[in-house]
Amino acid sequence: MKLPAYDRMGVGYTEVRRADPRIEARIHRALGEARVVLNVGAGAGSYEPLDREVIAVEPSPVMIAQRPPEVARAIQAVAEDLPLDDNSVDATMGVFTLHHWDDVERGLAEVLRVTRRRIAFVTLDLDATADMWLCRDYLPEIVEHDRRVFPTIERLGELLPGLRIEPLPVPAGCTDGFCVALWDRPEAHLDPEVRRASSIWHQLPDEVSARGLERLRGDLESGEWGRRHGELRTRSELDVGLRLVVAELVQ
Ligand SMILES: C[S@@+](CC[C@H](N)C(=O)[O-])C[C@H]1O[C@@H](n2cnc3c(N)ncnc32)[C@H](O)[C@@H]1O
């Protein structure tokens, strides 16, 4: 197994990326009655249910080391080669992980092999994300990059039978500070500690990020951001392209 990228990017992850309770409630509802749940790309344990048996699979030791004592112990492995028997879990969940896999097709074939009833992933529909102010006005390079690594929603529909796509609006003040979750807090993007916890800032060339962020800083200082987007600060949630995709394996 090659050195997981999150051994570099995952340092300090849990300080910025705390599971948001409103997103968590939607994920747990999607798991239905499942008693044994696989969390693939489990990271530091965000969004894992505590009231069911969880099998956590995660390749990065740096992420595994940040798992709090109350969550399941993680197995160090990748989605593409799950160390689990056929039909051994009721449901599989995966949050913000598909775009990190080397081979989504193989990983989802593995998930289908081990899962009996239900599969629920949180991912992005980049056609919608492209409209979010940060991507549209400052850094279109974010979506250009992400289109190379995220499976499209259409492709997921081909790989997972009977896929249901549910919009997952991001609440204002979302406690999970992934990049586009900060739609209501533009200043947060200027904080290097916040950026460090989202992989996109490790993947864009430094000069590209610096150019977009300098324009954002200028627009915040001049009041231009407020004139164009200030109304967002009064909203309770926004669709930034987050999607809960759910496959039912038994009807
Ligand atoms: C953005 S983090 C999300 C972690 C956690 N699910 C959460 O919501 O906080 C993405 C995770 O996917 C993991 N990952 C990367 N490649 C993977 C693979 N091939 N199979 C499974 N997980 C992988 C990374 O190590 C990282 O922990």
Per-residue pLDDT tens digits for 106-125: 999 999 999 999 999 999 99
Q: How many angstroms separate the alpha carbon of residue 78 from the centre of ligand 1?
A: 9
Of 15, 13, 5, 23, the residue nearest 240 (C-alpha): 23
Name the residue with tokens 């949630």: 237
Question: Quick check: 22 pLDDT over 80?
Answer: yes
User: Which of 25, 7, 69, 35 is closest to 168 using CA atoms?
Assistant: 25
CB 44 within 8 A of CB 63: yes
Q: Ligand 1 pocket: which of 18, 100, 108 to mutate (most atoms <8 Å of CB)?
A: 100
Query: pLDDT tens digits for 154-172?
Result: 999 999 989 999 999 999 9
Q: How far is the CA of 56 from the centre of ligand 1 (A)?
A: 11
Cα 62 to ligand 1 centroid, rounded to whole Å:
11
| The predicted structure's pLDDT at residue 188 | 96
The identity of residue 177, as a single letter, is G
Burial class (CB in 10 A: 0-12, 13-18, 19+), 192: exposed
Does the beta carbon of 108 lie inside 6 Å of ligand 1?
A: no
Count CA within 13 A, CB hemisphere, residue 33.
Answer: 3
For the Cβ of 114 lying below 6 angstroms from any atom of ligand 1, the answer is no
Amino acid at 170: V
- What is the pLDDT averaged over residues 135-139? 98
pLDDT of residue 2: 46
pTM: 0.94
- Residue 251, Cβ density class (10 Å: 0-12 exposed, 13-18 middle, ≥19 buried): exposed
- Map residue 109 onto helix, strand or coil: helix
Q: Atom of ligand 1 at shortest distance to CA of 17?
A: 9
